Structure 1
């Protein structure tokens, strides 16, 4: 009998769900636009078995992929496990075999050397395929229609080119010009190494080219940005080492004494790792990227930045207590000049007084100058009766829209007994103007232990959801998700 620990990662709204289901025509209030035809995929960490070591962090749960299929004014639901090697081995054994988050020293001997991926961080669509992503391993391919698992991929091409790095990011980008998927991996030659790889992959899933490069120090490199000519990497001191793993410490710990770097790597085929340019600034916590773009020789990089560590489960390396107020992040524009002779940032400008994270854009403007951005807001001034449902424990209680052109914002509050998961933009059509479409996101109904899917007019979020779709099961805290049109994934109306 499964007995999960009585700890915050496994109780309350984070109680394991472990449900695979198909539900046609979910009940909803409001109106689902009939022209909305496609599917929103998202992922939640959801442990198949109680943790091997007695407790665990929420980030180590097995990947469970949810699909909301919109068609003809209705929404259908499908949820399936991402059946990784880890999932299959443990399912056969009937118990957990893999130990602590990114620490293979804690695994059962029978699974030594196997992929440890939980595929629990992003549900990504490229070339009609569904990819379940976790940054410590290769990408896991799933069928976008059936949602059955195919297996891990090295993106081998017909010419025999395949990725040689060991890892693939949870945050790839699509180049709007070519349609290629741009990705990278860190710890590419092995756990805790400073080797990284850059990848470009066609819609057919074939690797075009790969570039190896080194970073100033090994750390959690969760996201990155692209521009027309460059890949841009933020390196911040949530650091790890084999020494930490041997001592049984969490894989990552935050070091407030170390600098932050921004690496700018030319993307063209002839580039090598020696071509990367590193810029340096003071200490901060920074993770998810809103966007990056070029302006002449200048590269702009928009990212929420916090004064201190945002992840209490990866604590300060010197034992300092978690500081909630210093963990609040604010969207900031970093600018570096490729024509300069300095390794300093040209400027660091905070773009808003709104604390927020999980930034998203109209993805058709990835790597280009853009106007609109959405994010989850942490508004401590709003009344709070219940907390929960977020990945890091911070209160995510508002949806925020930022208009960079007019420097105005809109805000929508979900109420005192709810919280929100990451938003995703859906364009009204392939050629619609920037921002013309909808925002979709999961709302955690903490009091009722269930979930709603909310649909907003993307540029008028303050009027509230145009449709509230009731999910009759509780969706655990989710990380990232994406939308694909029915045409892209071969789903019939």
Structure 2
């Protein structure tokens, strides 16, 4: 296969195609009424390749990051800005969040965060005084009680994972190296009030190297499904070391994202995760080998076993929970519904990898009952990852708003849409009209002004 005969949908297809220019626009038009309590920035990031890229080898996960920011204040949408992430040590493209007064752009597999200023115009590598010199992760977890940030990091140049804890003040508090075989891809982790959970699943660097040596397909993402690598999770105390890790066999699958996890009174723990039966087998350009399924893992640490139950038959991805419940028992999760050709998938359908990965409506799942509520944004309109923002002095778990960027394929433009999290059947509270489309990417977060004070 050559670049002359192959069309890579992640470079040219609709809203996957990268943008070529940065944008700055002020006084954005709004339909509806923005809640005056929303004072801050909604930031979103994704890969945006620049220059010549070989479509035969390009993977969706590659490419310099582009940050998209919408500034809200006092009921107004003051500006939209898009900026390429630039630094002397790479351009993270996977997540953007705040910690210890800093806005950080993140990526896994060896590169440290790049700090970006609140106006998106200044950037610099931030490696926490060398504590993150081996790189960081796309999905750290913040303990809402302490403000401490927990991460499981990996680096292709090292044979071990690194467990890192950063304090609420941004200083490194703890680290421990955890030996693993084959160089597994560790995109996410789980955190409870007392424990950290490591995901060691069968997508590895070693398998990709074996495939390349045997003449298999070559992509710029050196990771693939590994039939020889076991699926397991490692559990250690929240401030523990490698010597305290307890390894337990897990269902054979791959997990990009964890909704949440929590301790149970009997000593077990619960994890809600999005599982894939296989990953990077047929589709070497994106994550489309199998459909995502929301499941609950109940981990019996005394017996060393994991029981899996399907929570919802709806296919969903990009899970979000009320951040105040990270590591605590939760009821609701908000997701982007997974779609193929614009249709919600509710059963196992064999798909062509050329279809790629796609999202659809917003989905809320009651993890206790399995009940599912869907907000359809309209024909040709699909959501990206949602973010739950609680109201000040919220009195229940869904007392807040859902913010997400929605792509309108008919207009080829994007909107920041605000929904009432407790009433998804209602029309949007507000729609902020952006000047152009925002390419399908990965993750985004609401950053309140108070977080940067």
The interval holding the TM-score normalised by the smaller chain is 0.7 to 0.9
| Counterpart in the other structure of 2:18 | 16
| Counterpart in the other structure of 1:284 | 253
| Counterpart in the other structure of 2:80 | 77
| Counterpart in the other structure of 1:41 | 43
Displacement after TM superposition at 1:167 (Å): 2.1
Q: Any idea what the Cα deviations from partners look like across 1:275-305, whole Å, max 9, x if unmatched?
A: 1011113422221000011013111111011
Q: Note closer, same or farther for the CA distance 1:305–1:261 as it changes in structure 2 (3 Å cut).
A: same
**C-alpha separation in 2, matches of 1:323 and 1:399:** 20
**2:269 counterpart of 1:299:** yes
Alignment of 1:234-383 (within 5 A): 234-241=199-206, 242-244=209-211, 249-250=218-219, 251-256=222-227, 258-268=229-239, 271-296=240-265, 297-309=267-279, 313-314=283-284, 327-338=290-301, 340=302, 342-345=303-306, 347-378=307-338
Displacement after TM superposition at 1:52 (Å): 6.6
The one of 437, 442, 448 equivalent to 2:400 is 437
| Counterpart in the other structure of 2:91 | 118
**C-alpha separation in 2, matches of 1:17 and 1:203:** 35
**2:149 counterpart of 1:219:** no
Q: Note closer, same or farther for the CA distance 1:412–1:276 as it changes in structure 2 (3 Å cut).
A: same
Q: Any idea what the Cα deviations from partners look like across 1:347-403, whole Å, max 9, x if unmatched?
A: 11111111111110011110111121101112569759xxxxx99923311111112
**C-alpha separation in 1, matches of 2:328 and 2:354:** 29
Worse overlay, 244-253 or 27-36: 244-253
Displacement after TM superposition at 1:150 (Å): 3.8
Q: Note closer, same or farther for the CA distance 1:57–1:79 as it changes in structure 2 (3 Å cut).
A: same
Alignment of 1:374-393 (within 5 A): 374-378=334-338, 393=356
The one of 101, 108, 117 equivalent to 1:135 is 108
Q: Note closer, same or farther for the CA distance 1:323–1:486 as it changes in structure 2 (3 Å cut).
A: closer
Q: Note closer, same or farther for the CA distance 1:218–1:54 as it changes in structure 2 (3 Å cut).
A: closer
The one of 441, 452, 459 equivalent to 2:422 is 459
In structure 2, the gaps of 5 or more residues are 1-5, 345-352
Q: Note closer, same or farther for the CA distance 1:144–1:365 as it changes in structure 2 (3 Å cut).
A: farther
**C-alpha separation in 2, matches of 1:73 and 1:149:** 26
Displacement after TM superposition at 1:216 (Å): 4.7
Displacement after TM superposition at 1:54 (Å): 7.1
**C-alpha separation in 1, matches of 2:393 and 2:377:** 30
**C-alpha separation in 1, matches of 2:132 and 2:40:** 34
CA contact (8 A) 1:254 1:315 kept: no
**C-alpha separation in 1, matches of 2:134 and 2:354:** 26
Displacement after TM superposition at 1:129 (Å): 0.7
Displacement after TM superposition at 1:131 (Å): 0.7
CA contact (8 A) 2:319 2:333 kept: yes
Q: TM-score normalised to the size of structure 2?
A: 0.87
| Counterpart in the other structure of 1:101 | none
Q: Any idea what the Cα deviations from partners look like across 1:129-164, whole Å, max 9, x if unmatched?
A: 1111110234323244232344223312xxxxx426
Q: Any idea what the Cα deviations from partners look like across 1:197-217, whole Å, max 9, x if unmatched?
A: 111112332101111112354
Worse overlay, 286-295 or 327-336: 327-336
What secondary structure, in the 3-state scheme, does the structure 2 residue paired with 1:59 have? Answer: coil
CA contact (8 A) 1:138 1:153 kept: no
**C-alpha separation in 2, matches of 1:383 and 1:354:** 11
Equivalent residue pairs, number: 432
CA contact (8 A) 2:255 2:273 kept: yes
**C-alpha separation in 1, matches of 2:125 and 2:148:** 19
**C-alpha separation in 1, matches of 2:427 and 2:383:** 13
| Counterpart in the other structure of 2:60 | 58
CA contact (8 A) 1:256 1:308 kept: no
Worse overlay, 119-128 or 406-415: 406-415
Displacement after TM superposition at 1:430 (Å): 5.9
Q: TM-score normalised to the size of structure 1?
A: 0.81
| Counterpart in the other structure of 2:3 | none
**C-alpha separation in 2, matches of 1:477 and 1:380:** 15
Q: Note closer, same or farther for the CA distance 1:279–1:147 as it changes in structure 2 (3 Å cut).
A: same
Displacement after TM superposition at 1:15 (Å): 2.4
What secondary structure, in the 3-state scheme, does the structure 1 residue paired with 2:258 have? Answer: coil
The one of 131, 135, 139 equivalent to 1:171 is 139
Q: Note closer, same or farther for the CA distance 1:391–1:373 as it changes in structure 2 (3 Å cut).
A: farther
What secondary structure, in the 3-state scheme, does the structure 2 residue paired with 1:274 have? Answer: helix
